Amino acid sequence: MPDIEQICRGDVVTAGHLRDVLDRVGDKWSMLVISLLEHGPRRYGQLATDIPGISQRMLTVTLQRLERDGLVTRTSYPEIPPRVEYALSPLGASLQEPISALAQWAYAHKDEFLASRDRYDAKA
Amino acid sequence: MPDIEQICRGDVVTAGHLRDVLDRVGDKWSMLVISLLEHGPRRYGQLATDIPGISQRMLTVTLQRLERDGLVTRTSYPEIPPRVEYALSPLGASLQEPISALAQWAYAHKDEFLASRDRYDAKA
DNA sequence: CGGAATCCACAACGATACTG
DNA sequence: CAGTATCGTTGTGGATTCCG
């Protein structure tokens, strides 16, 4: 069972597994999409409205990347009008746990965050 | 105790706490620096050699951002030659736990990751 | 409805040179 | 030693338009 030290040591430092996962889900929307899919399958349009501010393009490419890495599944129903559902794969569902840990840390410490920043900026 | 649903709902979706923390430590080097500082204070030059591939500039700006957000403390000793030590603050140390969770997830599932990607790319 | 294609702006990043 | 300054490159994300 590896710890951070093991992960960030030797010839795998820069290309460590931490880097890998951040490169995949560290972008602007991936974790948000995963969080929303946690509650069950969603259609493309649903996600578009549930994530204010996201563009069609970014929703599309984000979903494609997540599907490519096996985190979400895409199911297309050949109807008219077309219907496409996205859902978390087991792999994606397992990722939701560490993501939740990160989100809860952010929620718990948001005040310290802002306070420190204000102090820093006040001196500059 | 908030869960993901609470965090990603309503008018705080795009500016959710998850977004906040990702904006700070989701960049290329921050989590790596935090991981290294976990073992104790490190000097600037030590970090530079312990993180192969990082440029002086990126190490500097990464450390400044981490200090600004209160995750890292900077201690300068007025000697010749100058000596500067960076260490995790209590806040930064508390962040190491969710980061570790993410890293361990990455380590545990790296094979599924790559396999899914290969399958996807083979069809394209 | 669920995209794909194109173009563009900006910020992140890297390399290099210089400094107290 | 521990940075700062400047420049060039790259990648990410947004706006718009078009298609099955």
pLDDT digits (tens, 9 = 90+) for A44-83: 999 999 988 899 999 999 999 999 999 999 999 999 999 9
Which pLDDT value is given to residue A60? 98
Mean pLDDT of chain B: 86
Give the one of A22, A24, A32 whose C-beta lies nearest to B18's C-beta.
A32
Copy the structure tokens of residue B75.
């201690």
Which pLDDT value is given to residue B6? 43
pLDDT band at B63 (very low <50, low <70, confident <90, very high): very high
Residue A5 pLDDT > 70, yes or no?
Answer: no
> CB–CB of A96/A87 below 8 Å?
no
> What are the contacts of B111-118 at 24+ separation with CB within 8 A?
B112/A70, B112/A91, B113/A20, B113/A24, B113/A69, B113/A70, B113/A91, B115/A70, B116/A68, B116/A69, B116/A70, B116/A91, B117/A68, B117/A69, B117/A70
Task: Give tens-digit pLDDT for B91-122.
Answer: 999 999 999 898 889 889 989 988 999 999 98
pLDDT band at A1 (very low <50, low <70, confident <90, very high): very low
> What are the contacts of B113-116 at 24+ separation with CB within 8 A?
B113/A20, B113/A24, B113/A69, B113/A70, B113/A91, B115/A70, B116/A68, B116/A69, B116/A70, B116/A91
Share of chain B above pLDDT 70, in %: 87
CB half-sphere exposure, B44, CA atoms < 13 A: 18
> CB–CB of B96/A4 below 8 Å?
yes
| Helix (H/G/I), strand (E/B), else coil: A98 | helix
CA of B55, closest CA in chain A: separation in Å? 12
Q: pTM of this prediction? A: 0.84
Residue B7 pLDDT > 80, yes or no?
Answer: no
- Nearest nucleotide, CA B29 to C1': C13
Protein residue nearest nucleotide C15, by CA to C1': B55
A113:B69 CB<8 A: yes
- Greater pLDDT, A64 or A110: A64
| Helix (H/G/I), strand (E/B), else coil: B8 | coil
Task: Give tens-digit pLDDT for B27-56.
Answer: 999 999 998 999 999 999 999 999 888 999
Which pLDDT value is given to residue A67? 96
Which pLDDT value is given to residue A52? 85
Strands ordered across the beta sheet of B72-77: B42-43, B83-88, B72-77
Q: Whose CA is closest to B17, among B2, B35, B32? A: B2
B112:A91 CB<8 A: yes
Q: Whose CA is closest to B72, among B46, B96, B97, B50? A: B96
Amino acid identity, position A86: Y
Report the residue of chain B nearest A21, measured CA to CA: B106
pLDDT band at B3 (very low <50, low <70, confident <90, very high): very low
C-alpha distance from residue A53 to each of A22, A40, B53 (Å): 22, 22, 34
- Greater pLDDT, B116 or A8: B116
pLDDT band at B18 (very low <50, low <70, confident <90, very high): confident
Mean pLDDT, to the nearest integer, of A71-100? 95
pLDDT band at B61 (very low <50, low <70, confident <90, very high): very high
Angle at A95 between CA A62 and CA B15, to 5 degrees: 55
The protein footprint on chain C, as nucleotides within 7 A of a CB, is 1-6, 12-17, 20
